[in-house]
Structure 1
């Protein structure tokens, strides 16, 4: 009789069991070797791709939960501020600002500001009045940053970064519970804010990817859609390079300054990555005023669920809707926004403005005037408007020409010769031809219906003439523009 706990097997059975045990051990050893080998050097694309493969669930994990259908599809401009604004500000900005969306910080260990206005009633009122909401959660940050709360980067069993994954699940559960308590409906996209970090540090990178994957999957289990906010050369770059087996977020919100409406190809390898579900943060910490209420905000352009990314309208389109007049420091309004659109550095955009001719704008106007050989006064006068509106290439144009270049000529020429009857329609017709002949004659050129490089250069230098026809309409227009 054998002692309890021992079992003797027949020799043949024992031999088979030994072979089976050795086979299992070899398989486990191969698995551990495969998952623990990581490229420490090599090209960034290969490292990022491998990072995505290492951070995804293995075959024995449960399949990813289904993605909730998008609740709304919209595009337009949105702002985000540290604190949710009070109701008076939201009501005033709804009718006076260019924004249709607002980013709100739901919570997280790194939420910077107290949110005394962010209540279920506040959320309900914004949604009823037509505001689109962009919920944000700011929890643990990448392990290689200096933040107090960081993602655990220990590889754990099978190099799956289990603790990082558990952190992603916990963050998603808290975010979903907060969203529900505020009355945010299911299928709303909740963005995880992960600030910039060094993507060249493997454990930092892989743990961040593991965390974000579980964030996405857990939100899906709880009926919400997943978004990730980060800089383009941090989490956004990594996410765009993960393999097809990695569970990506439903939308990305990337910070890329002064590139409105563009895809940042140098950081995102696949131009189609989230091509219809993106939020672009293109300007940070700017004080603006709409409806008489100032606020410090970040600027964003949103395309969530739209068929394609739509570039916002440019300065030229805005120039066709206003009549230029002299502007002095301290001036306000849409005409100031146009001037800022044309002179401020970075890619011009009609909404990335304050509407106030402040010191920053005055300095930019003076710099432009200096480059064009104009008196550097900082005032946007008739000569400065002519020069601003004429900027661009200088093709030869004749009567009968059509297109955007003709529109640019008409915008500049109607200021240079002081005739508001020149229609900005892109058609080089009789009215444009008369203005061209008049302008050429004042320049000492033969009065012909042709725009040569010399004409373009004169417009670019702000050469203006007297109004070549009189009448009540012309006089009224001259009075409005200041002379």
Structure 2
């Protein structure tokens, strides 16, 4: 996803209160990566052993998740967790109606809101199948770039995300995240929704890992350990003899599972 610059209206977001002490999330301040085609748990192990990585973008499904991308079984996910990974769980569902993706949500805001709720229910069922502690577990909606200057498309997208967040907050509530281009997925406009995402995962391919500096997102929005940043896009890296095409991430935000690993922030703050 190329990062495009577009001015968006700033708004303030209130930070969380102190996180509850249970297994469903921790706050990571470490580096990580995500990739569509990891291929195997053995390849993931190669990117764990004696590497700088702590976190892994775990794609858990959705209608727009690429056909050539790795599909993880519950047994695979248990193996990855046993390796030590902290997960950024990503759900790749329908995209904005003004895009060319095969799977798109409705241009009608009310319908899009209901569809956002449906996607949250579907993602929830997947983490249940993994046997996870679902209370406050973070799940990230992958929203690719779209024409944010199209007012109708933006309005539908905002309602879709509002529906996603609303349903994620139905008890037992999860933490609702959104991934997208920092400037071209309308992320900052979601700060003023009726149902504001708990955290963001912003693609800003500046090469700067600091989550405190994200283009098009004011520093006051999603402050207080509520940010992940994809700071470098598609590139290959080789670790322990395994080469993968990855995106590079840095975190100051929720990952699954707890405990957190604060104290070695790797330039992410």
Q: Deviations over 1:51-82 (max 9, x none)?
A: xxxxxxxxxxxxxxxxx956212220111111
Which 5+ residue runs of structure 1 have no aligned equivalent?
A: 1-42, 50-67, 155-160, 314-483
Structure 1 stretches of at least 4 aligned residues deviating more than 3 Å after TM superposition: 113-117, 262-266, 305-311
Tell me the number of residue pairs that the alignment of Structure 1 and Structure 2 aligns. Answer: 241
Q: Which has the higher contact order (CA 8 A, sep 6+)?
A: 2
Q: Deviations over 1:392-411 (max 9, x none)?
A: xxxxxxxxxxxxxxxxxxxx
Q: Deviations over 1:96-144 (max 9, x none)?
A: 3211111121111110145666111121122233210111111111111
1:231 corresponds to 2:172 = no
Please say if residues 84 and 104 of structure 1, whose CA atoms lie closer than 8 Å, have aligned partners that are also in contact.
no
Q: Deviations over 1:156-182 (max 9, x none)?
A: xxxxx2101111011111111112112
Structure 1 residues 265, 135: CA separation in 2 closer, same or farther (over 3 Å shift)?
closer
Structure 1 residues 266, 127: CA separation in 2 closer, same or farther (over 3 Å shift)?
closer
Structure 1 residues 89, 102: CA separation in 2 closer, same or farther (over 3 Å shift)?
same
- The equivalent of 2:257 in structure 1 is none
* Higher share of residues assigned helix: 1
Deviation, 1:309, is 11
Please say if residues 30 and 55 of structure 2, whose CA atoms lie closer than 8 Å, have aligned partners that are also in contact.
yes
SS of residue paired to 2:29: strand
- The equivalent of 1:428 in structure 2 is none
The CA distance in 2 between the partners of 1:126 and 1:292, in whole Å, is: 18
- The equivalent of 2:231 in structure 1 is 282
The CA distance in 2 between the partners of 1:184 and 1:238, in whole Å, is: 31
Q: Deviations over 1:299-341 (max 9, x none)?
A: 100111589995618xxxxxxxxxxxxxxxxxxxxxxxxxxxx
The CA distance in 1 between the partners of 2:84 and 2:196, in whole Å, is: 29
TM-score, structure 2 length as denominator?
0.81
Deviation, 1:184, is 3.1
Please say if residues 64 and 92 of structure 2, whose CA atoms lie closer than 8 Å, have aligned partners that are also in contact.
yes
The CA distance in 1 between the partners of 2:215 and 2:174, in whole Å, is: 31
The CA distance in 2 between the partners of 1:235 and 1:293, in whole Å, is: 36
Deviation, 1:262, is 4.6
Please say if residues 261 and 311 of structure 1, whose CA atoms lie closer than 8 Å, have aligned partners that are also in contact.
no
Which 5+ residue runs of structure 2 have no aligned equivalent?
A: 1-6, 12-18, 255-259
- The equivalent of 2:240 in structure 1 is 291
The CA distance in 1 between the partners of 2:226 and 2:188, in whole Å, is: 15
- The equivalent of 2:47 in structure 1 is 93
Please say if residues 204 and 214 of structure 2, whose CA atoms lie closer than 8 Å, have aligned partners that are also in contact.
no
TM-score, structure 1 length as denominator?
0.46
Larger-Rg structure: 1
The CA distance in 1 between the partners of 2:211 and 2:179, in whole Å, is: 17
Picking from 199, 206, 222, the partner of 1:251 is 199
Deviation, 1:238, is 1.5
- The equivalent of 1:144 in structure 2 is 98
- The equivalent of 2:133 in structure 1 is 185
